[in-house]
Chains A and B, each alone.
Chain A
């Protein structure tokens, strides 16, 4: 059984109604339980009825996060290595129909980017490699090679690329892969095809079962999430929580993390969110996820503005990106064409400024929480014997 089968017990429309109909009494009953609640209880906390309880949720979330993670914030930075894409995602800047410059970085260029990221005394040790979906330009062999390259500089490598097969994940783990992020975009199976009309990404089930394939080979950490604003964000949050709960219980050696890619309305042409969310809504999500699971890693990217990011440092978040450039080549070359970017960041402060903001909360910035030597698989037989 995979998550696709598991999830059949819950119907999208019924859950939507359940969430809409939750009452204040339901919310109080759930909050009385504290942390580590069920996905159904989580659904109550993302309901409109829970909105007036946000202050209490924030307090509970902050307390649980301090206990589990202490006064620390992990930081990482994304490295876009290819923006070729064969998909037609209607909301994405990398959509294959968009006439933008396409690049796949060479290993030399990746190395230059890695050096640029660590320049200025920034001891980044966690890196996220990002590609569009184009096996021809950025296939599994290219990813393996790229992981080898960045492993000279970083201790923990994550990827955010297309869903892969089990054997591919196993292979990449041998090269030192630690974490894989695959966001479902929406768990609404009926409407998923509207947003993904063509390309390999049209296959809802293959994407949904990706964490199962990762769990099978023991990926260290799985990053999940949904594109907030595409569909009813409350219902999507419930299914994301259900997915987390499923992964945690079935693949208990694998950590889980949640991210919040959020669509915002904007002036001009382009995809507008069907279900706009406010920062208040986002904080409700963050704190509800913390109450779902005390040990869930909660990541907040530079998509959110500084005012919001700085103020949620203590409220549940455990991981932040800093100094992000979302165009391939953007770190080593300031003049890289802006149109290569996947999305524009709302927190474009320098790494130093973000570090300062974190420290202002009396938090330690954790650059390194993994050692490549722990990726036992990365060590070839000869090296193993040597020790």
Chain B
């Protein structure tokens, strides 16, 4: 059976989704249901952890959907540790999407702080899912540190520019011993499918669904694309040729 396992959890779907930028929490709920996703990331800064009536948290109480708190907003490892511990306590989950992007413009992740935080969080029993640049060496370092998966970016967050880091994603996927989740930048279902065909274990999508004309329909389109991409990967895609190949023109003489 083709299943994805991250930190001991079996994921029902290979499409993870984010919760920002939706026109309403009601639309967000419906769109998430349409994606069939079982893992949904939520920014600590957007919710009131102590408030049982928090509208966003309430809207995310969906059957079969697990919350993946993220540390968006922190600027260094120390702040990330603090936020992670708060999230674990309030939401009762060891899962953590580690995001440290002090850069306020392109939200580029800080590799030094991310590695530092990952090392400590793993020791504290967190299932760490780090958001990082598509840097193959950093991925190996995080793997060594005990990250449950790696989440390299396809393009800057929210840019919808697709797999701008394609060549590096290829190397990361080839070398990784932990699941590779392509996070950030995926703007269309075809780009999600391309990431899956490449061999990514999952993708995380937010803006492309939230900002679509019809987020619910787009959520479903991404579901289909991720499934198609995965099936294509498993089916081993046919090689690409620049021109039609002639029948053994150089070695035909051997048959004489």
Contact = CB atoms under 8 A, between A and B. Distances in A.
Nearest to B110: A253
A218 B75 CA distance: 10
Given A364-B25, A366-B46, A379 B211 contact: no
A342 to B, nearest CB: 30
A71 B103 contact: no
B159 interface: yes
A293 B82 contact: no
Given A67-B211, A295-B105, A364 B24 contact: yes
Interface in B77-111: 78-79, 82-83, 85-86, 89, 102-106
Given A70-B22, A376-B78, A384-B82, A255 B44 contact: no
Interface in B3-25: 20-25
Given A254-B104, A364-B24, A374-B74, A70 B83 contact: no
Interface size class of A (residues with CB under 8 A): 20 to 34
A153 B210 CA distance: 30
A66 B209 CA distance: 12
Contacts of A364: 22-25
Interface string B101-145: 011111000000000000000000000000000000000000000
B218 to A, nearest CB: 13
Given A366-B46, A371-B45, A374-B79, A295 B21 contact: no
Given A252-B103, A373-B83, A71 B46 contact: no
Interface size class of B (residues with CB under 8 A): 20 to 34
A60 to B, nearest CB: 15
A70 B46 CA distance: 14
A72 B73 contact: no
A71 B211 contact: yes
A358 to B, nearest CB: 10
A374 B73 contact: yes
Interface in A63-84: 66-72
Contact of B21 (A69, A359, A371): A69
Contacts of B41: none
A333 B159 CA distance: 47
Contacts of A253: 75, 102-104
B47 to A, nearest CB: 7
A67 B44 contact: no
B45 A255 contact: no
B113 to A, nearest CB: 11
Contacts, number: 85
A363 B23 CA distance: 4
Contacts of B44: 371, 373-374
A255 B82 contact: no
Nearest to A63: B211
A387 B102 contact: no
A376 B73 CA distance: 11
Contacts of B79: 374, 376
Contacts of B105: 248, 252, 293, 295
A203 B211 CA distance: 46
Contact of A66 (B46, B104, B211): B211
A16 to B, nearest CB: 29
Q: In terms of DSSP, what is the predominant structure of the interface of chain B? A: loop
A13 interface: no
Contacts of B75: 218, 253
Contacts of B103: 252-253
B158 A68 contact: yes
Contacts of A295: 104-106
A50 to B, nearest CB: 24
Interface string B21-37: 11111000000000000
B176 interface: no
B102 to A, nearest CB: 4
Contact of B46 (A359, A368, A373): A368
Interface string B167-184: 000000000000000000
A255 to B, nearest CB: 5
A189 interface: no
Interface string A374-387: 10100100001001
A374 B23 contact: no
B23 A370 contact: no
Interface string B49-93: 100000000000000000000000111001100110110010000
A330 B201 CA distance: 56
Given A368-B45, A373-B82, A379-B82, A255 B23 contact: no
B38 interface: no
Contacts of A371: 44-45, 49, 73, 83
A249 to B, nearest CB: 9
A376 B102 CA distance: 14
B78 A72 contact: no
A310 interface: no
B188 interface: no
Contact of B158 (A67, A359, A376): A67
B85 A387 contact: yes
14 contacts: A67-B207, A68-B158, A70-B207, A71-B211, A248-B105, A254-B104, A295-B104, A295-B106, A371-B49, A371-B83, A374-B79, A374-B83, A376-B74, A387-B86
Given A71-B23, A252-B104, A362-B24, 9 more contacts: A125-B48, A248-B105, A295-B105, A364-B23, A369-B45, A373-B86, A374-B44, A374-B45, A387-B89
Interface pairs A-B: 7 shortest CB-CB: A70-B21, A71-B23, A253-B102, A376-B79, A255-B104, A371-B45, A362-B23
Interface of B: 20-25, 44-49, 73-75, 78-79, 82-83, 85-86, 89, 102-106, 158-160, 207, 210-211
Interface of A: 66-72, 125, 218, 248, 252-256, 293, 295, 359, 362-364, 366, 368-371, 373-374, 376, 379, 384, 387
